Structure 1
Amino acid sequence: MSGMFTDRDADEDTAEGAEAEPAREGTAPPRASGCRRSRTVLVAAAFTVVTAVAAAGALGLGGDGDEDPAAPPRAGSTVAVTRATLVERTKVDGELGYGVETPLPAKASGTVTWLPEAGTIAERGDTLLRVDDRPVVLLYGTLPMYRELGMTAGPTPPAPGTTAPTAPRGAGGKAGGTGAGAGAGGTDRGTDADTGTGTDGGTSTGTATGTGTDGGTGTGAPPPPAAPAPPQPLRGMDVLQFESNLAALGYTGFTVDEEFTSGTERAVKRWQGVLGLPETGRVGLGDVVYASGRIRLGQAGVRLGAAAGENVLGYTGTSRKVVVDASAQEASWAVRGTEVTVALPDGTPVKGRVASVGRQATAPEGGPGAVPTVPVTITLADQRALGRLESGPVSVEYAGRKREDVLAVPVAALVALAEGGHGLETEDGRFVTARTGLFADGMVEVSGPALRAGLKVRIPQ
């Protein structure tokens, strides 16, 4: 039985032989063993490449062994040292408005019966206020109203170099009459109190009523009343100023000159009729106020019903301007005519010009350490650029120190040196000393033996 060979045994032997026998040439290997072989080849190839690169680096292959590896690029940009003109600009605070109010030079006396609203613009011929219900009218001029205008009632003043006539004397003596004694039959030729001797030997004492020097014996009679002189023209520069305004208001019939004539008087009557005044032909001292042009009326200094006075009403010009309280120690920039830039509250820049500088410093309010200030008024030519803004805080920029044709670089290019001071880093990495001067508009003035125009320097980051 043990020597018998069955088909089952043959099949098992064939299977075992097939597992042990390697694959024949030309046949495909099993799938699982093929995947494992691919992974092994890839790992071996990668190891070979890395080893080759490392070996090449160790042997110095792929480059010149005498040069150092290239340094990484520096951060930052380079700029050139240039020649420029630097101007130092400074900003100060200011206030937009119409300027400081001036008291209206009204000379009318009486009770204030009407006042205008603050902010009213008045022109030539407009009523500024009413006193005792009489209008006070604005006219243009620089000479203040200092007297009443109209035809004069007295005689014509004598021409230069002549003498006025003397008053008539009384009859009967050059300077008076003779005294008469009280005694009978006595004739007295003495003065004041004297004694006369009569022809009968009597003596009497008389009191003289006058002093006679020519032997006259009578008392002079008063002269007859003189006839009133006709009105005469009033002369003066104030007349010329008033007539110029009267003509500008459209009134005619007179010559614009320095004489207030009957023609001027008739024109004044017509003007008074339009104003609702009695047509007297004379201009009272308080009827007119002169100003250099159109004015803007401010807050009234009195209430209705109060007595009129010089502080009854204030006024300013009609153009908006800026007032700066400049430090008295640093006001050298404030010279009449100096151009400045005004920044409005919304940031809009407007060109301005210094119009006036105060001559009196104002005491500071901040204590002993505060600096006195002087008012600087700046006019703005382009009023339309201000829009409807009438007041508010603004900033004023002005040019201070100025350096022309100097070497300059951006401030960001400066570096602090370890030994102190400042320097610049050149494009090739060297550091050179730089002395600084004026700082302006993000630039700085520099100087030094190694610096020149066109030198490239680095701006560090």
Structure 2
Amino acid sequence: MGALALATGGTLAFVWFTVRGDDAQGSQTDGLPPETTTVRKQTLRDTRTEDGELGYGPSTAVTGRLAGTFTALPAEGKRISRGGMLYELDNRPVVLMYGAKPAFRDLAAGVVGPDVRQLEAGLAALGYTGFTVDEEYSDLTAKAVEDWQEDQGLSETGRVELGRVVFAPGKIRVESRQAAEGQQSGPGGEVLTYTGTAKAVTVELDSADRQLAEKGTKVTVRLPDDSSAAGTVTDVSTEVQPATDKQEAETKVNLVVGLEGKNAQKSAAFYEQAAVQVDFTTGTRRDVLTVPVAALLVLPQGGFGVEVVDETKSTTRYVSVTTGLFADGKVEISGDGITEGITVGMPT
């Protein structure tokens, strides 16, 4: 009798074997294995687990562009939608609009570009009409802006000065406030930070593990209540952590994992922040023949085998096999006479 230690997904599985030299070929009739299992065809997936943090994903800072005094600021945790006030300067609002491109200039008649389209799309969504949503800031756009400015209590200039509108990809959640009411605002000063409103998981990897996940990679997130949720890597970024007195500079890969489906978001909503585990698939073998790792034997002539029980369950024989992927306590096997549904012994 002996034992074999097999690496399976970062752990060791000890396989006991009882093959004698005279039994290594052919059949034996002096006893059947105490337990058996069936060769199954299935898909094996080898996974690697990394720690993650459940929250709302990375935060973005809003910096001031206009001079004035802060007269109102949102509470932390507040949700703000398109057309909503982010904060007030001198009792006049700075307004949220949706768009991927940040505001970078004044917008007025004659200006052309994707930031114009973002503004016009926002105005149209808020019910302002009379213009075409395109990349040209026309006189008709200026008229709609005047109507919007009137409703906001702003001077009706038809021109949107830089800093009056902040573009974000969608509805936001205020994460923190860096400014205070009564404080003076100046160009470049940080006002607040925000995140998205959907729950997301952030994962930090060493640079050597960069191959684990690309944008669009499917993963499984295990929540604190032991439930699982499907997730997709939505963003990948690299961060260089500077050297300190105690350690050298390091490069880290930061992933954002979005949770898929209403049920996943509902389950995650119970936790404002929480430690979670994220399972990445590192290897996949589809429709292969498998047995539990514990069914493997070490043959006297070398290599691995299994003890095949004949159909009458009266004799057994040892069959040499080639192993493939080890995953989740199973192993892929192939060899002469190894087919789906045959019975093999489980050594004790």
TM over 0.5: yes
Runs of 5+ unmatched residues, structure 1? 1-69, 151-232
How far has the Cα of 1:129 moved from its partner? Answer: 0.7
With the length of structure 2 as denominator, give the TM-score of the two structures: 0.74
Shift in alpha-carbon separation, 1:432–1:356, aligned structure 2, 3 A: same
CA contact (8 A) 2:218 2:232 kept: yes
How far has the Cα of 1:432 moved from its partner? Answer: 4.8
Which string of whole-angstrom CA distances, capped at 9 and with x for unpartnered residues, describes residues 118-169 of structure 1? Answer: 121111211101123321111223443333344xxxxxxxxxxxxxxxxxxx
Which string of whole-angstrom CA distances, capped at 9 and with x for unpartnered residues, describes residues 173-212 of structure 1? Answer: xxxxxxxxxxxxxxxxxxxxxxxxxxxxxxxxxxxxxxxx
- Could you tell me which amino acid in structure 1 is paired with residue 282 of structure 2? G
Runs of 5+ unmatched residues, structure 2? 1-28, 310-314
Shift in alpha-carbon separation, 1:96–1:383, aligned structure 2, 3 A: farther
Paired residues in the alignment total 306
Q: 1:307 maps to what in 2?
A: 184
With the length of structure 1 as denominator, give the TM-score of the two structures: 0.58
Q: Which entry has the higher C-alpha Rg, 1 or 2?
A: 1
What is the alpha-carbon distance in structure 2 between the residues aligned to residue 359 and residue 371 of structure 1? 10
How far has the Cα of 1:401 moved from its partner? Answer: 1.5
| SS of 2:68 mapped into structure 1 | coil
CA contact (8 A) 2:203 2:255 kept: yes
Q: 1:392 maps to what in 2?
A: 274
Shift in alpha-carbon separation, 1:394–1:268, aligned structure 2, 3 A: same
Q: Of 251, 256, 267, which aligns to 1:377?
A: 256
- Could you tell me which amino acid in structure 2 is paired with residue 322 of structure 1? V
Q: 2:83 maps to what in 1?
A: 125
Shift in alpha-carbon separation, 1:438–1:369, aligned structure 2, 3 A: farther
Question: Is 1:353 paired with 2:237?
Answer: no
- Could you tell me which amino acid in structure 2 is paired with residue 131 of structure 1? L
- Could you tell me which amino acid in structure 2 is paired with residue 400 of structure 1? T
Shift in alpha-carbon separation, 1:364–1:460, aligned structure 2, 3 A: farther
CA contact (8 A) 1:320 1:383 kept: no
Q: 2:94 maps to what in 1?
A: 136
What is the alpha-carbon distance in structure 1 between the residues aligned to residue 112 and residue 251 of structure 2? 45
Shift in alpha-carbon separation, 1:381–1:106, aligned structure 2, 3 A: farther
Q: 2:216 maps to what in 1?
A: 337
What is the alpha-carbon distance in structure 2 between the residues aligned to residue 83 and residue 240 of structure 1? 54
Question: Is 1:147 paired with 2:33?
Answer: no
What is the alpha-carbon distance in structure 1 between the residues aligned to residue 132 and residue 37 of structure 2? 75
How far has the Cα of 1:243 moved from its partner? Answer: 3.4
| SS of 2:208 mapped into structure 1 | coil
Q: 1:95 maps to what in 2?
A: 53
Q: 2:20 maps to what in 1?
A: none
Alignment of 1:31-430 (within 5 A): 74=32, 76-150=34-108, 233-237=109-113, 238-254=115-131, 256=133, 258-261=136-139, 263-308=140-185, 309-360=188-239, 362=241, 373-387=252-266, 388-389=269-270, 390-404=272-286, 406-416=288-298, 422-427=304-309, 428=315, 430=317
- Could you tell me which amino acid in structure 1 is paired with residue 338 of structure 2? R
| SS of 2:278 mapped into structure 1 | strand
How far has the Cα of 1:100 moved from its partner? Answer: 1.0
What is the alpha-carbon distance in structure 1 between the residues aligned to residue 117 and residue 38 of structure 2? 69
Please, which moves more after superposition, 264-273 or 95-104? 264-273
What is the alpha-carbon distance in structure 1 between the residues aligned to residue 105 and residue 95 of structure 2? 16
| SS of 1:336 mapped into structure 2 | coil
How far has the Cα of 1:313 moved from its partner? Answer: 1.1
CA contact (8 A) 2:34 2:347 kept: yes
What is the alpha-carbon distance in structure 1 between the residues aligned to residue 127 and residue 163 of structure 2? 22
| SS of 2:215 mapped into structure 1 | coil
CA contact (8 A) 1:109 1:286 kept: no
CA contact (8 A) 1:297 1:315 kept: yes
What is the alpha-carbon distance in structure 1 between the residues aligned to residue 102 and residue 287 of structure 2? 54
How far has the Cα of 1:364 moved from its partner? Answer: 9.4
Please, which moves more after superposition, 299-308 or 317-326? 299-308
What is the alpha-carbon distance in structure 1 between the residues aligned to residue 48 and residue 159 of structure 2? 57
Question: Is 1:446 paired with 2:325?
Answer: no
- Could you tell me which amino acid in structure 2 is paired with residue 443 of structure 1? K
Shift in alpha-carbon separation, 1:106–1:290, aligned structure 2, 3 A: farther
What is the alpha-carbon distance in structure 1 between the residues aligned to residue 83 and residue 254 of structure 2? 33
| SS of 2:209 mapped into structure 1 | coil
| SS of 1:398 mapped into structure 2 | strand
What is the alpha-carbon distance in structure 2 between the residues aligned to residue 302 and residue 350 of structure 1? 37
Q: Which has the higher contact order (CA 8 A, sep 6+)?
A: 2
- Could you tell me which amino acid in structure 2 is paired with residue 144 of structure 1? P
Q: 1:30 maps to what in 2?
A: none
Shift in alpha-carbon separation, 1:78–1:280, aligned structure 2, 3 A: closer
CA contact (8 A) 1:362 1:374 kept: no
**Which structure carries more strand by proportion?**
2
CA contact (8 A) 2:241 2:250 kept: no
What is the alpha-carbon distance in structure 1 between the residues aligned to residue 37 and residue 131 of structure 2? 77
CA contact (8 A) 2:97 2:166 kept: yes
How far has the Cα of 1:241 moved from its partner? Answer: 3.8
What is the alpha-carbon distance in structure 2 between the residues aligned to residue 83 and residue 323 of structure 1? 35
Please, which moves more after superposition, 122-131 or 424-433? 424-433
Shift in alpha-carbon separation, 1:248–1:446, aligned structure 2, 3 A: closer
Which string of whole-angstrom CA distances, capped at 9 and with x for unpartnered residues, describes residues 16-68 of structure 1? Answer: xxxxxxxxxxxxxxxxxxxxxxxxxxxxxxxxxxxxxxxxxxxxxxxxxxxxx
